[in-house]
């Protein structure tokens, strides 16, 4: 095998154009999403090879998404009627947060996905939130002001009827193992070279760029560019390249999870929502699929053992004595400081993880790959600057998502366990989040603060109002007012819109599944 004697010069020439040969290490959702995106964008000019090892277990418990995933399938030209039945998928209108707050009337709240239907009622919500911040006793629970909250509560589907000509945001629930298998088959159909093998050695040049990989079956494979999708192990970026990791442990305590799958009651309707319920030392998820329910407990090992966490989850699910498969996971919370360096990019868990709350993992994978591809659209680019700007964008995105996730813990008002007190009082609060909370508490212009943070803000105005109001972050001493809150008007409007434009979730799924079959 011969190599260029001046690899640094070769690297710069290659990077001024899109790579001609790419090797992805690792399958799973990250690897297969990456492969499909690359093949769609560059398939006619770039060869893509994916190597996955049989010995590495797929984590397979990330079963929810943001609305961003809808754009992913649309970009690939894959219809819901094709992928959803194969992945046991259901729709998701938002997340119901239960027991995060102890404020009367605000013990639970719904974080909705938004649509143009919300424009009228959402303004009432923003207005009433402002009034309550200033001490007026008006209703500011987001559940009453957004159509998707009513869609979820009425077991409707967030897919609008054909006569509704406007965009409606929604996400999905799915079996992540089946989603990986579906995307794997799609990638192979599109010309992906798939190798089942294990990487044993990585060869580098004097500058640190990767020259080739040596596999267990004694193959030496070369490429212009390498992508690490090997999960928390990080075969390339951790073991070989030793990239610096920026931990979020000081502001996000959860580092473990336990997952259990339970049967569904086929006689019951399926609600298009994830339930995130606060437990003693973390929170549980409940995700309805078409064939089963995904359940899990995300917790901090500093406050509870894995055995006790499993017991608490089993107790909640009423499966204490059942012989049921349980999966325990450890999570590395944080991100790399350099996602892309020289000729290697990290995607998925190898680049970082924030935690499952708000289901942002697939969104970050998609964002990472799409931005990588678009980096090559620039003409006459200076490669070092392109990579530096790319990493800055990724780090800003990760940190912006982190800030919103941290807000859930910082704003909690539970006092029943040491864990929740520590989350509220001992976490290191990121500066941007602290500024948002401070402005909110003082009753001054939140929009001005959000505008000031525009370049680093990932979650926008409605989401910040929903979490701050939903947690009941208001003055304790409220004054009655003669000015009506118009909450009944907003509630009635959202209910009417939901019933007028959206149909039963279970019926909608059956229609899609029947069309596919």
Using alpha carbons, list the distances in angstroms from residue 163 to 70, 116, 167, 379, 385: 20, 14, 12, 43, 48
Q: Enter the tokens of residue 234.
A: 């990080």
For 466-489, the DSSP string reads HHHHHTT-S-SS-B--SS---HHH
8 Å CB contact between 295 and 259: yes
Beta strands at 245-247 and 225-228: parallel, antiparallel or unpaired: unpaired
Catalytic entry in 12, 54, 70, 92: 92
8 Å CB contact between 256 and 329: yes
Q: How far apart are CA 514 and CA 511, in angstroms?
A: 5
Q: How far apart are CA 265 and CA 411, in angstroms?
A: 35
54 is catalytic: no
Q: Which pairs with CB-CB distance under 8 Å and at least 24 residues apart come from 194-198?
A: 194/49, 194/50, 194/52, 195/49, 195/50, 195/51, 195/52, 195/219, 196/51, 196/52, 196/53, 196/54, 197/51, 197/53, 198/53, 198/54, 198/55
Q: Which pairs with CB-CB distance under 8 Å and at least 24 residues apart come from 216-222?
A: 219/195, 220/1, 221/23, 221/49, 221/51, 222/1, 222/3, 222/21
The residues annotated with a catalytic role in the active site are 92
């Amino acid at each position: 095998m011969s190599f260029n004697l001046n690899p640094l010069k070769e690297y710069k020439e290659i990077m001024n154009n899109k790579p001609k040969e790419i090797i992805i290490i690792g399958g799973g959702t990250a690897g297969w999403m990456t492969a499909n995106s690359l093949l769609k964008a560059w398939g006619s000019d770039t060869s893509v090879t994916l190597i996955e090892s049989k010995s590495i277990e797929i984590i397979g418990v990330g079963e929810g998404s943001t609305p961003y995933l809808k754009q992913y399938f649309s970009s690939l030209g894959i219809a819901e009627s094709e992928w959803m039945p194969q992945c046991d998928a259901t729709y998701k209108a938002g997340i119901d947060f239960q027991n995060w707050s102890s404020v009367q009337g605000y013990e639970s709240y719904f974080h909705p996905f938004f649509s143009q239907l919300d424009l009228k009622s959402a303004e009432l919500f923003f207005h009433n939130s402002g009034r309550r911040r200033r001490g007026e006793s008006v209703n500011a629970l987001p559940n009453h002001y957004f159509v998707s909250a009513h869609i979820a509560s009425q077991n409707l589907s967030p897919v609008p009827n054909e006569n509704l000509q406007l965009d409606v945001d929604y996400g999905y629930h799915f079996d992540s193992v089946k989603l990986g298998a579906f995307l794997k088959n799609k990638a192979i159909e599109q010309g992906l070279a798939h190798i089942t093998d294990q990487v044993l050695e990585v060869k580098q040049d004097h500058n640190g760029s990767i020259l080739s990989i040596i596999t267990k079956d004694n193959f030496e494979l070369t490429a212009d560019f390498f992508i690490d999708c090997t999960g928390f192990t990080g075969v390339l970026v951790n073991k070989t390249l030793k990239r610096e990791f920026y931990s979020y442990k000081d502001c996000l305590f959860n580092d473990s999870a336990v997952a259990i799958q339970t049967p569904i009651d086929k006689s019951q309707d399926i609600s298009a929502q994830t339930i995130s319920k606060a437990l003693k030392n973390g929170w549980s998820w409940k995700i309805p699929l078409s064939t089963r329910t995904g359940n899990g407990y995300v917790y901090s090992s500093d406050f509870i053992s894995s055995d006790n966490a499993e017991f608490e989850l089993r107790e909640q699910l009423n499966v204490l004595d059942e012989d049921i498969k349980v999966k325990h996971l450890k999570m590395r919370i944080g991100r790399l400081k350099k996602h892309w360096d020289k000729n290697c990019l990290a995607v998925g868990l190898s680049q970082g993880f924030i935690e499952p709350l708000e289901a942002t993992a697939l969104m970050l994978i998609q964002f990472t790959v799409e931005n990588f591809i678009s980096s090559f659209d620039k003409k006459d680019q200076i490669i070092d600057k392109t990579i530096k700007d790319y990493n800055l964008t990724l780090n800003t995105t990760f940190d912006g998502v982190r800030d919103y996730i941290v807000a859930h813990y910082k704003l909690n008002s539970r006092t029943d366990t040491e864990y929740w007190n520590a989350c509220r009082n001992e976490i290191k609060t990121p500066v941007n989040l602290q500024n948002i909370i401070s402005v909110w508490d003082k009753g001054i212009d939140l929009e001005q603060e959000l505008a000031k943070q525009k370049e680093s803000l990932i979650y926008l105005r409605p989401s910040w109002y929903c979490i701050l109001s939903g947690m009941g972050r208001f003055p304790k001493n409220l004054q009655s007012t003669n000015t009506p809150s118009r909450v009944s008007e907003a509630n009635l409007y959202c209910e009417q819109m939901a019933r007028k434009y959206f149909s039963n979730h279970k019926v909608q799924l059956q229609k899609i599944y029947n069309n596919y079959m």
